[in-house]
Structure 1
Amino acid sequence: MAIAQLLFPLSHLALILSLVPALLTLVHFLIWLIDPHGLRSFPGPWLARFSDLWLGRVAQQGHRSEVVHEMHKKYGTFVRIAPNHLSISDPAALQIVYAHGSGSLKSNFYDAFVSITRGLFNTRDRVAHTRKRKIISHIFSQKNVLEFEPYVKDYVRSFIHQWDRLCAGGAKGLQGDDGEGGWRGRDGRTWLDCLPWFNYLAFDIIGDLAFGSPFGMIAAAKDSAPVAKSHAQGISVYGQDSGKCETVSIPAIQILNDRGEYSASMGVLPPWLRPVVKRYIPWYSRGSDAVKNLAGLAVAAVAKRLASPAYRSDLLSKLQEGKDEDGNPMGRAELTAEALTQLIAGSDTTSNSSCAITYYVAANPNVQRKLQQELDGALQDEDDIASSFEAVKNLPYLNAVINEALRMHSTSGIGLPRLIPEGGMTIQDHFFKEGTVLSVPSYTIHRDREVWGEDAADYRPERWFERDQDTIQRVFNPFSYGPRACVGRNLAILELLIIVSSIFRRYEVVLEHPEEPLATSEGFLRKPLRCAVGIRRRST
């Protein structure tokens, strides 16, 4: 009897569980039928009309920008990529969806990027964002960014010293171990994967600027950084006690990549589903661990810096000095979260862009030759192996080379989702209701033939001198647009100008496999997977 009583409720439970898929399907169908946001008439993949799972799967597979681009080629300007998410490939929509005064808000996609506490990037509330931006934006003014130039040049010099050493070894036919990226000498060149080296460079630069000391990746030629074992301990300790923050080493670059893939995939899922997949699907569980480890890295670095608060003009010191309109500084957790934001925004983006630029210049020998001619003429009187920003900032072909690579390989190629505010929004005579999610994919508008020409799929810096400047500047979108645009744009441009000019002034670079396209994978950012090149010192 007791066994029968036990089995009876279990059978009911099994019946209920078996009905869950049918109930979920019915709910999604009813939402599609009711059409609360008026999107039913727009085309798109069949599953995307009913469920967020289509976009979730696409995001997880790592090629969202390319897939959405193909959907636009198939369906046209408007593509429904989720039940309440419309992708719009009209370049003019940038000015409407993201502009100052549009009133659009970040969607719940950004909730998946919160770790310590909300930072400038993932704050969705307009008032809170205005407060944070007021504190942070002045830090990245051109005047302040120029104070960071000596730090950038120091690490570019260290990078070049390492490559000079590898070039010397490669000229002798030597080879390195895997700890140095597995370089080898052949045919008078040193062959290596340049992506890890750009990662080391970018992490050391932003580590120094955001936390007061580098991670030592260039010197060690290794992906390693300290992370706090306990976030709560690291945030709570202060002053002399900050030294008690116990740490372990982690592969920070890999952790950052895992975190981006996880958060970008989690963010497109409905909020109620996120705890479920994080708990029961191993891929998401590993991503959740990456979020915690990356937060721990920031906790450990800030704790170390505040334990010996010698003043230096860098991002962290300026974040500490910043105050809101009421005169209040950031609290410890907020300070740590913003330092982490700068680490994420200033490392992956710079390394990915540097790698992509190197790939495209190496793939186009005529471009490399013209660039080096311009650099030789402009820098002939400079002895420093690291170029100065003042000497290269206005070089037209250098800027065209960089901009064209950023067009072809925008680190943020996905359409950043925005929630339409009260009053709605009209695009191409289509009215969109409050609460509708819209996005404009940078990857697609950077390939718009009407804007960039019939050869928009090709890398050709000369187009920057041929096309109408007002038109292309309105569409060129590597740093996003409007009040939520990247505050670190000035620093990113300074870094790229110094890095690219210094490298191609000193080295001749060729691709090991020129017939192969640049392989990429996309989380929140679109990153190269590998870039095998042969380098040697130039004779000039």
Structure 2
Amino acid sequence: MQAPSLLKFYVVLSILTFVWEHYGFNHGNTLESLQAALLIICAYATALFTSMLIYRKYFHRLRNFPGPWLAGATKFWHVYQCRNSQNHFLLDDIYRKYGEIVRTGPEELTIFHPEVLPATDGPGNSCTKAVWYDFLLPEIALNTTRSKPEHDHRRRIWDHGFSTKALDTYEGRIAEYAETLEKRIADLASHGHPVNVTSWFYFFTFDVMGEFAFAKSFGMLEDERWHIAVVMLRKAMRLLGPLSPVPWLAQIGFYIVPWIWVVRDWLAMLVWCRERMAERIKMEGYKPDVSHWLIDASMKTNTLKLDREWLNGDAVTIIIAGSDTVAPTLVFIFYLLAIHQDQQDKLREALESVDIYDRKALRGVDHLTGVINESLRIHPPVPTGGYRQSPDDGMKLAGQYIPPRTTIVSPRYTLGKLPSCFEKPGEFIPERWYSKPEMVKDKRAFAPFAQGRYSCVGKNLAMGELRLVTALLVKKYRIRLASGEDGKRVEEDLRDQFTAAPGELNLSFEVLKSDKS
């Protein structure tokens, strides 16, 4: 967070060095003064960075861990490698080359072992959130605060918004949006058009979360086009792809060069969310939503003004965490079902006598849950994010001692495909989650919703959306890859920008004979 101030300090110091040379030694000779100032600056920078390099490579507490040579010297190596926002592929390649524990930064270890998830998030762990979570500052939110007491206090308020009673009130509204989605797909299918499900699933999830965050849908399913605010948000999320390894560089962009287009989109998105939350606070006669519990708690304690930064940050959290995770999961569920027709048939058979609008009944369809879990395993909605920091006294992990205050990365994209944890890890086998449990060798490697105090507060809402949309469409349509679609883009163009952003996927939806009447 001090990066912008440090940059300003060094800029001013450089100017003063030039002035000092200009008037103190070179008697007004601008060229000689500039050369002398540059020499001093270069000498200082050379000494500084050389000493840092020597320390990091030969004296640092992580020096004995394997990894790319440049990764241990500077995090800019990682930025360059992530310039295409495909960190999940990069880390997967690193695992194959260097093994289970790899140094991927001067003070960072990436751990490809199933023990890492319970060790950093599970009960009794002493880890904290890493500096990455300061990304949203000065806004603060449930999922970005690094203070455990603040998080726990805020989490208790959020839990009211996702209680069983609250979910019952949301159920009918989610069904309305799911039916609107189905109608749009039916209209396209009736005219023989392929359906770009990547766009349509984002329309659905953002409309749902817009209503739950601001009591007002984005209207994308009705308008059949992207809302300008969602366009800004999705552009802004691209910032997290290449800059997640160095969040301090993003802070420089926010405060020093806000005219850069991606930074401008990020700031505009934050302003838009603040304005919607301000409108939501004044709103009357709305249906109960998640933000109701947050605002109501602030009003009851007379802390509404003090909590405005929390409310603004929580608005961003609801939208991103609730939309940018469910949408890609839906994309991959239908991608996998489209290329595995046998699994699609088996799911349809399991749903045949089930009332899909009964949340409890859907939860009891084992194969449906298996399809969702298997998709989450192969294509996690958060491929590599979720950085943690080891405690002040260090910790033991995967048989090795991890030094204090080390950033720990636990990439779910690779963990979900470890042969040591899953039999036939590259294959789509939903049965492993209910009738073939022997195919899951180590359940610790599967935690798509995290666990412990940082587990996803909206897990039940998300699973409800996934189950309903999947059941609604599978029960009515035969789903295949559209003509000319091989499905490669959805994986090859996937961007890891904290949440997964899959490539375009076009599917065909053929109404089943029993429904054609």
Give the TM-score, by structure 2 length.
Answer: 0.87
**Kept after mapping to 2: 8 A contact 1:199/1:253:** no
AA at the equivalent of 2:364: N
Give structure 1 stretches of 5+ with no counterpart. 171-184, 225-249, 380-385
Shift of the alpha carbon at 1:505?
1.1
What is the DSSP-based 3-state SS (H/G/I as helix, E as strand, rest coil) of the residue aligned with 1:518?
Answer: helix
**Kept after mapping to 2: 8 A contact 1:151/1:209:** no
Hey, what does 1:418 align to over in structure 2? 388
Hey, what does 1:499 align to over in structure 2? 469
**Kept after mapping to 2: 8 A contact 1:136/1:322:** no
Hey, what does 1:522 align to over in structure 2? 496
**Kept after mapping to 2: 8 A contact 1:387/1:501:** no
Pair 1:204 & 2:236 matched: no
Change (3 A) 1:281 1:362: farther
**Kept after mapping to 2: 8 A contact 1:388/1:498:** no
Given the alignment, which residue of 335, 343, 346 partners 1:367?
A: 343
What is the DSSP-based 3-state SS (H/G/I as helix, E as strand, rest coil) of the residue aligned with 2:262?
Answer: helix
**Kept after mapping to 2: 8 A contact 1:97/1:439:** no
Shift of the alpha carbon at 1:405?
0.6
Q: Which moved more, 1:477-486 or 1:39-48?
A: 477-486
**Kept after mapping to 2: 8 A contact 1:104/1:421:** yes
Pair 1:78 & 2:77 matched: no
AA at the equivalent of 1:268: P
What is the DSSP-based 3-state SS (H/G/I as helix, E as strand, rest coil) of the residue aligned with 2:508?
Answer: strand
Hey, what's the Cα distance between the residues in 2 that align with 1:290 and 1:514? Answer: 33
Shift of the alpha carbon at 1:515?
6.2
Shift of the alpha carbon at 1:134?
2.2
Q: Which moved more, 1:67-76 or 1:304-313?
A: 304-313
Given the alignment, which residue of 407, 416, 426 partners 1:457?
A: 426
Hey, what does 1:242 align to over in structure 2? none
**Kept after mapping to 2: 8 A contact 1:259/1:288:** yes
What is the DSSP-based 3-state SS (H/G/I as helix, E as strand, rest coil) of the residue aligned with 2:428?
Answer: coil
Pair 1:305 & 2:275 matched: no
Given the alignment, which residue of 319, 323, 329 partners 1:353?
A: 329
Q: Percent identity?
A: 25
Hey, what does 1:220 align to over in structure 2? 223
Shift of the alpha carbon at 1:25?
3.4
Shift of the alpha carbon at 1:275?
4.7
Hey, what's the Cα distance between the residues in 1 that align with 2:149 and 2:334? Answer: 41
Shift of the alpha carbon at 1:153?
0.6
Hey, what does 2:186 align to over in structure 1? 164
AA at the equivalent of 1:207: G
Given the alignment, which residue of 88, 95, 100 partners 1:65?
A: 88
**Kept after mapping to 1: 8 A contact 2:236/2:263:** yes
Hey, what's the Cα distance between the residues in 2 that align with 1:398 and 1:15? Answer: 67
Hey, what's the Cα distance between the residues in 2 that align with 1:341 and 1:441? Answer: 21
Pair 1:155 & 2:131 matched: no
**Kept after mapping to 1: 8 A contact 2:489/2:504:** no
Q: Which moved more, 1:146-155 or 1:8-17?
A: 8-17
What is the DSSP-based 3-state SS (H/G/I as helix, E as strand, rest coil) of the residue aligned with 1:426?
Answer: strand
AA at the equivalent of 1:265: P
- After superposition, where does 1:89-238 map in structure 2 within 5 Å? 89-114=112-137, 117-168=139-190, 170=191, 185=192, 190-224=193-227
Hey, what does 1:260 align to over in structure 2? 237
**Kept after mapping to 2: 8 A contact 1:134/1:324:** no
Given the alignment, which residue of 279, 284, 296 partners 2:271?
A: 296
AA at the equivalent of 2:246: L
**Kept after mapping to 2: 8 A contact 1:278/1:285:** no
**Kept after mapping to 1: 8 A contact 2:354/2:361:** yes
Shift of the alpha carbon at 1:295?
1.2
Hey, what's the Cα distance between the residues in 2 that align with 1:476 and 1:486? Answer: 14
When the two structures are aligned, how many residues end up with a matched partner? 484
Q: Which moved more, 1:394-403 or 1:414-423?
A: 414-423
What is the DSSP-based 3-state SS (H/G/I as helix, E as strand, rest coil) of the residue aligned with 1:81?
Answer: strand
Hey, what's the Cα distance between the residues in 2 that align with 1:428 and 1:307? Answer: 52
Pair 1:339 & 2:315 matched: yes
**Kept after mapping to 1: 8 A contact 2:421/2:443:** no
What is the DSSP-based 3-state SS (H/G/I as helix, E as strand, rest coil) of the residue aligned with 1:206?
Answer: helix
Hey, what's the Cα distance between the residues in 2 that align with 1:326 and 1:90? Answer: 44
Pair 1:486 & 2:456 matched: yes
**Kept after mapping to 1: 8 A contact 2:422/2:440:** no
Hey, what's the Cα distance between the residues in 2 that align with 1:155 and 1:476? Answer: 30
Shift of the alpha carbon at 1:437?
1.3
Hey, what does 2:294 align to over in structure 1? 319
AA at the equivalent of 2:378: M
Shift of the alpha carbon at 1:20?
6.2
For the aligned residue pairs, the C-alpha RMSD in angstroms reads 2.6
What is the DSSP-based 3-state SS (H/G/I as helix, E as strand, rest coil) of the residue aligned with 2:352?
Answer: helix
AA at the equivalent of 1:500: T
What is the DSSP-based 3-state SS (H/G/I as helix, E as strand, rest coil) of the residue aligned with 1:534?
Answer: strand
Give structure 2 stretches of 5+ with no counterpart. 1-21
Shift of the alpha carbon at 1:398?
0.7
* CA deviation vs aligned residue, 1:446-482 (integer Å, no higher than 9, x gap): 00112211x2012221222213498554321111222
Change (3 A) 1:207 1:289: same
Change (3 A) 1:20 1:267: farther
Shift of the alpha carbon at 1:69?
1.1
Hey, what's the Cα distance between the residues in 1 that align with 2:436 and 2:332? Answer: 23
Shift of the alpha carbon at 1:395?
0.2
Change (3 A) 1:30 1:114: same
Change (3 A) 1:20 1:59: farther
Shift of the alpha carbon at 1:44?
0.8
Q: Which moved more, 1:3-12 or 1:58-67?
A: 3-12
What is the DSSP-based 3-state SS (H/G/I as helix, E as strand, rest coil) of the residue aligned with 1:79?
Answer: strand
**Kept after mapping to 1: 8 A contact 2:62/2:403:** no
Give the TM-score, by structure 1 length.
Answer: 0.83
Change (3 A) 1:306 1:428: closer
Hey, what's the Cα distance between the residues in 2 that align with 1:270 and 1:29? Answer: 20
Hey, what does 2:410 align to over in structure 1? 440
Hey, what does 1:287 align to over in structure 2? 262
Change (3 A) 1:372 1:165: same
AA at the equivalent of 1:84: E
**Kept after mapping to 1: 8 A contact 2:236/2:266:** yes
Shift of the alpha carbon at 1:154?
0.9
Hey, what does 1:178 align to over in structure 2? none
Hey, what's the Cα distance between the residues in 2 that align with 1:392 and 1:88? Answer: 36
Change (3 A) 1:260 1:100: farther
What is the DSSP-based 3-state SS (H/G/I as helix, E as strand, rest coil) of the residue aligned with 1:339?
Answer: helix
**Kept after mapping to 2: 8 A contact 1:508/1:535:** yes
